């Protein structure tokens, strides 16, 4: 087991000492630091750190809730468990919304505190590993936004690395926003051509009458204002990689000339009678159905087979939902660094909402939502309510789409009542769907949802949902 450091903050000396003795015996490798109040904890974090924290809520001067907010602003990866002798579901929910992992009441049941701390240690380990994984992937690919640890992403990453080591032409296919351009950059960076140029060509952005001369170059006098020879992008990329973004948008007439480059390894500049040898690896990107375009005579079949030597499919976000927390935390940290903001983090409720939201724009859409929320949210812990307020404007409601009815007994419903009702409905629907998926297994449901088992049980109790009804 990796060494973890636990911070215990409680104003009662007997409680601190008792917890230290108890936990030292159960977790021999655990480093335990005990402090008497929030001021000591803040001072400690100015020069040191911890993986876990047990924080008493009722303390003089600064209470545990305020301390929690302060510590999470310093270290968003801290896993905190709150302690109190005055437990209530409302207090537990408030603590979890602020970013606590779990909540336990005094006096403690030994088995409960052992189990809670074991899960907290595992959660801390996974969070740190996720962050390390992101750093490793950044170092390996130099494309920091191309991250994940889901089975779908790991398969994709393995295929990417295999493809990069080859010298074949690559066709990268995937939905909009799945990182096709990042994939192309990663392939180049991991290849033996990485010391040579990577030239990106956005095919739809170049007018048709200029695309040929841009790709293949031209000679002096080839057309009006061609006052000197100009090498094309294929020549610029020689020895390296040329990426054709949205290759399906290349005009049909130019496709035959592109085919010759792939077949012969040479280009003929516009206005020239001679050809120039080029050594270029082609990576083509598309989100279009090229097979249908071939049937519609919009794309050359022979060019398709030349491009489709090796195909790499970028996974959509719906295939890697479990990567959303990793991506959200990474994008949030990135925005805070770019804008010189205090580190902000999403609470469990907002993260759950992001995981259950459809993402037709995939990772790009997720990144844009996180950027907006982090930029405009005035506080450090982003809640479900913040997400609803700061997220993208709602899509237009069509006449066929269901509309929320805010009329109650002939009166328009108050904002708070409507919000509470909708959140309650969402919670009930989410937990019911979760338990149906796990066959009523609460532990498995906690793992899937990212909610601690204790918190999930409290939500189930509040909603009068029983796991046995789904087994």
Could you tell me what percentage of the chain is helix, strand and coil, using 3-state DSSP and rounding each to the nearest 5? 55, 15, 35
- CB of 117 within 8 A of CB of 49? no
* Predicted pLDDT of residue 402: 44
Fold topology of 5-135:
Rossmann fold (3.40.50)
For residues 280 and 167, give the distance between their C-alpha atoms in angstroms, rounded to a whole number: 10
For residues 157 and 180, give the distance between their C-alpha atoms in angstroms, rounded to a whole number: 13
How far, rounded to the nearest angstrom, does the alpha carbon of residue 458 sit from its chain's CA centroid? Answer: 28
Task: Work out the end-to-end distance of the chain between its first and last CA atoms, rounded to an integer number of angstroms.
Answer: 34
Please give the class, per CATH, of domain 320-390: mainly alpha
* Predicted pLDDT of residue 176: 93
Beta-ladder partners of 202: 245
Rg (CA), the chain: 28
Domain ranges of the chain: 5-135, 151-317, 320-390, 409-470
Give the list of residues 6+ apart from residue 104 with CB closer than 8 angstroms, or none.
81, 82, 83, 112, 113, 116, 454
For residues 416 and 25, give the distance between their C-alpha atoms in angstroms, rounded to a whole number: 48
Fold topology of 151-317:
Rossmann fold (3.40.50)
For residues 48 and 46, give the distance between their C-alpha atoms in angstroms, rounded to a whole number: 6
Domains 151-317 and 320-390 share a fold: no
pLDDT < 70: residue spans in the chain: 1-3, 86-89, 127-145, 389-405, 408-410, 471
- CB of 247 within 8 A of CB of 204? no
How many H helices and E strands in the chain?
19, 18
* pLDDT one-digit tens code per residue, 381-413: 898 888 876 554 444 434 433 445 677 666 787
∠424-428-429 over CA atoms, to 5°?
Answer: 115
* Predicted pLDDT of residue 87: 61
* Predicted pLDDT of residue 130: 58
pTM of the predicted model as reported, rounded to 2 decimal places: 0.59
Please give the class, per CATH, of domain 409-470: mainly alpha
């Amino acid at each position: 087991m990796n060494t973890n450091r636990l911070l215990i903050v409680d104003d009662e000396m007997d409680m601190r000492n008792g917890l230290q003795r108890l936990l030292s015996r159960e977790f021999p490798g655990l480093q335990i630091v005990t402090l008497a109040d929030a001021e000591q904890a803040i001072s400690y974090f100015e020069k040191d750190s911890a993986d876990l924290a047990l924080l008493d809520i009722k303390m003089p001067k600064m209470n545990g809730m305020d301390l929690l907010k302060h510590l999470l602003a310093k270290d968003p990866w801290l896993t905190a468990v709150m302690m109190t002798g005055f437990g209530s579901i409302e207090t537990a929910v408030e603590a979890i919304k602020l970013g606590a992992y779990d909540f336990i009441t005094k006096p403690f049941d030994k088995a409960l505190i052992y189990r809670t701390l074991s899960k907290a240690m595992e959660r801390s380990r996974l969070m740190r590993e996720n962050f390390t994984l992101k750093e490793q992937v950044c170092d390996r690919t130099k494309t920091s936004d191309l991250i994940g640890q889901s089975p779908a992403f790991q398969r994709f990453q393995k295929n990417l690395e295999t493809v990069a080591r080859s010298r074949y032409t690559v066709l990268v296919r995937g939905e909009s926003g799945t990182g096709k351009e990042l994939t192309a950059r990663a392939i180049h960076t991991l290849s033996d051509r990485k010391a040579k140029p990577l030239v990106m060509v956005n095919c739809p952005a170049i007018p048709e009458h200029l695309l040929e001369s841009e790709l293949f170059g031209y000679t002096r006098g080839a057309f009006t204002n061609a006052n000197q020879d100009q090498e094309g992008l294929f020549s610029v990329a020689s020895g390296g990689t040329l990426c054709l973004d949205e290759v399906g948008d290349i005009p049909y007439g130019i496709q035959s000339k592109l085919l010759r480059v792939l077949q012969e390894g040479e280009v003929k500049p516009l206005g020239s009678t001679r050809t120039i040898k080029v050594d270029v690896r082609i990576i083509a990107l598309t989100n279009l159905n090229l097979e249908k375009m071939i049937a519609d005579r919009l794309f050359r079949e022979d060019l398709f087979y030349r491009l489709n030597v090796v195909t790499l499919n970028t996974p959509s976000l719906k295939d890697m939902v479990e990567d959303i927390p990793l991506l959200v935390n990474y994008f949030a940290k990135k925005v805070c660094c770019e804008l010189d903001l205090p580190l902000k983090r999403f609470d469990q409720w907002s993260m759950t909402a992001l995981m259950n939201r459809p993402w037709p724009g995939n990772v790009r859409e997720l990144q844009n939502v996180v950027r907006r929320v982090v930029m405009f949210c005035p506080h450090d812990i982003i809640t479900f309510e913040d997400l609803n307020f700061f997220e993208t404007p709602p899509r237009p409601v069509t006449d066929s789409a269901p509309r929320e009815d805010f009329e109650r007994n002939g009166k328009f419903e108050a904002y708070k009542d409507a919000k509470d009702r909708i959140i309650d409905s969402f919670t009930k629907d989410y937990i019911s769907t979760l338990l149906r998926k796990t066959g009523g297994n609460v532990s498995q449901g906690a793992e899937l949802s990212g909610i601690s088992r204790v918190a999930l049980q409290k939500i189930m109790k509040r909603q009068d949902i029983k796991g046995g009804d789904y087994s």
